[in-house]
Amino acid sequence: MGKRIEPAWPRGAVPLDEFTARMLEVGDGLYRELPWRHVDDPYAVLVSEIMLQQTQVARVGRFWERFLAAFPTVDALAAAAVPDVLELWQGLGYNRRALALKRTADECAVAGEGRLPDSYEGLLALPGIGPATAAGVMAFAYQKPAVYVETNVRAVFLHELFPGREGVPDRELEPAVAAAAFHPSAAADPRRWYYGLLDYGAHLKATGVNPTRRSASYSRQSAFEGSRRQKRAWIVRRVLAAPEGVEAAVVARELSAAEVAAGREAVEADLFESIAGDLVGEGFFRREGALLVP
């Protein structure tokens, strides 16, 4: 089962039977062949779901294949060193996702004997796995109906059922997503159902329509260059490039020089220490005296 939401169909909307039949037909016509589709391994599906968070589909394919080649199982990822995991994640951004995935593998290697849970609740209890990710694994790996409210799914429901509405909250969308997902025609093949919705949502955005802007949860992503996030990524890369460790003062000086070379302000010491402290606390690397060590 998926998230505990009481299914409900919006008043005045096209009948549910008609909606599900049409969405299946539209989705089949827009089907995209992607490497992580029709995969039965829950771990491989989880890796794809984590990578696809806040990252475009076109960028994920080679990272997913390379990551699984290096860490093909939960146990392999659990046995890996954090710097090795982060090194293979470089280029995807949002490195916290890699650490959360590693911690999930660590927990499953012990408690789950190298297997992911096969329930929504069990998945949701793992590090970095939220409702959408847990529902995605249930639908795509286990072929079980689930309430999967992902950005492209959200786009379809906003476009089809809430035309013209602004600021639509997920609490209004989720009952409709649940009603459709557990309808017999969709529940018979959850993969087909959600693949179709994902592909239709991507099609809407590619053709200039972006219904997600009418979602209450929509927010524009802030610019990366010059941001704290960009500085975090720079520091992580620099420390990972020094297996024996590098002085924090050296990293701070080099980061500041890189920012100035890019036409931005030098990085103040307090800002560097704040970012470095966050990264140490999150487990990206450790501090040994004056050194930052992977």
3-state secondary structure of 240: helix
3-state secondary structure of 160: helix
Catalytic residue among 49, 150, 160, 174: 49
Alpha-carbon dihedral 57, 58, 62, 68, rounded to 10 degrees: 10
Is 49 one of the annotated active-site residues of the chain?
yes
In the β-sheet with 291-293, what is the strand arrangement from edge to edge?
Answer: 246-247, 291-293, 286-288
- Residue indicated by tokens 């009948």: 15
- Write the DSSP symbol of residue 8: -
**Taking a C-beta distance cutoff of 8 angstroms, is the pair 33, 195 a contact?**
no
For the chain, strand residue ranges (E) read 246-247, 286-288, 291-293
**Taking a C-beta distance cutoff of 8 angstroms, is the pair 36, 45 a contact?**
yes
Specify the DSSP element, H or E, that contains 194: helix 190-206
Q: Token pair of 104, please?
A: 């999930």
Closest alpha carbon to 141 in 168, 128, 122: 122
CA-CA distance, 182 to 147, in Å (whole number)? 9
Task: Please return the burial class of 62, using the count of CB atoms within 10 Å of its CB with bins 0-12, 13-18 and 19+.
Answer: exposed
CA-CA distance, 201 to 40, in Å (whole number)? 24
Q: Return the active site residues.
A: 49
